[in-house]
Amino acid sequence: MFFRNILPMDIKQWFANYSHSPFVVAGPCSAESEGQVMATATALSAMPEVRLLRAGVWKPRTRPGGFEGRGEDALVWLHRAMQATGLPTLVEVATPTHVELCLKHEVSAVWVGARTVVNPFMVQQLADALCGTDVPVFVKNPVTPDLKLWIGAFERFQKAGLSCLAGIHRGFQHFAQQPYRNYPMWELAMELTRIAGLRVITDVSHICGRRDLLAAVAQKAIDLATDGLMIEVHPSPDDALSDAQQQITPGQLRALLTNLKWRTKSSVDDGTLVGLRAEIDDVDAEVLRLLARRMELSRHIGQLKKQNDMAAFQPDRWKKVLAEHVATAHTLGLDDTIVTEVFEAIHKASVEEQTKIMGD
């Protein structure tokens, strides 16, 4: 099928690494109605940082029965929005039929979702369907933190002759999710840039899952030398048919972009140090949350000890706990002395807290 690529020059330059000016992809999680698409596109087209209008047309839902997207109708609305505002469009594809329909309706670029990237058969089918076009392809990271799988997807598109490729870092499923919807694991996104030399943008909406974290995570992404941002925008976020909690209004996007400090690539290192530091910050925050949870449990135990007339300090229990922790520390390759010191400090604080409760 003939594909008319009407991608503006500045976007082509961005893929070729010539442009370092702010690059933002924005738009609704899902295209819901022509009015919603047009209102969003009109507002976004007034923001010079916004280069592409994103919208989900077929929505991958965890369970059936939810809103699964407006399908081909939405592609017609997106085409009209592009003609009216000049904003090129970006749509998620998961099957060769999606690709065919996107080509038919002159979608400017496509993205592959996190649930699709996990399946090399599906990625290969998409690469085959796009072969012979020069459609830009954005590839989200797979839901699981598997860098090779992510890189493998790019290799499949490269082999199919597609040259405008970029990653979208949207976070990973991880045991330590909180406070994120998807844990960032910044280092993996930085690795992709280093290993594959690809441009990577950060989908802060799917990392955060909630509005209040967006600004800080967007700034962090920029500080780590990501090449741009993806942010979900809806004229009336609370009424959105998908991902209502994480979408913001165009006005809120304007404020968020105004407050961001954009940096040029040359003003930071290659991301290694900042990436690792960001990871450490997240781990420390996790340690603090766990400490707070431990203290909470300790207070409950303090109440029970009081009711049962027990002493706050129980030497046998403490000896057993410490021995177990030191044994676990060994299996994790941690130093006995450090682990003992840390747990002695935690235990001391816990006993002091319980002693206070017992004296109340």
- Contact positions vs ligand PEP (CB under 6 A): 29, 56, 60, 113-115, 140, 170, 206
Q: Which is nearer to ligand PEP, 126 or 312 (CB)?
A: 126
- Does position 29 bind Mn ion by CB under 5 A? yes
- Minimum distance from CB of 28 to ligand PEP (Å)? 9
Cis before 250 (ω within 30): no
CA angle (44 as vertex; 98, 95 as ends), nearest 5: 10
Residues 113 and 140 sit within 8 Å (Cβ to Cβ): yes
Other CB atoms within 10 Å distance of the CB of residue 55: 27
Q: Is the Cβ of residue 88 or residue 113 nearer to ligand PEP in the bound state?
A: 113
203 DSSP β-pair partners:
230
Cβ-based nearer residue to ligand PEP, 27 or 302: 27
- Among ligand PEP, Mn ion, none, partner that 66 touches (CB below 5 to 8 angstroms by kind): none
Q: Which of 243, 250, 282, 312 binds Mn ion (CB under 5 A)?
A: 243
Q: How far apart are CA 51 and CA 107, in angstroms?
A: 14
Tokens of 234: 């809806």
Q: Residues 6 or more apart from 186 whose CB is under 8 A from it?
A: 220, 224, 275, 278, 279, 282
Question: Could you tell me how many residues of this chain bind Mn ion (CB under 5 A)?
Answer: 2
Task: Tell me the closest approach of the beta carbon of residue 190 to ligand PEP, in angstroms.
Answer: 18
Q: Which is nearer to ligand PEP, 171 or 271 (CB)?
A: 171
Q: Is the dihedral of CA 284, 286, 289, 290 positive or negative?
A: negative
Dist CA 231 CA 206 (whole Å): 8
CB nearer to Mn ion: pick between 243 and 282? 243
Measured from each CB, the residue nearest to ligand PEP is 113
**Listed ranges 60-68, 128-136, 178-186, 240-248: which one lies at the site for Mn ion (CB under 5 A):** 240-248
Smallest gap from Cβ 56 to ligand PEP, in A, equals 5
Residues contributing to the site for Mn ion (CB under 5 A): 29, 243
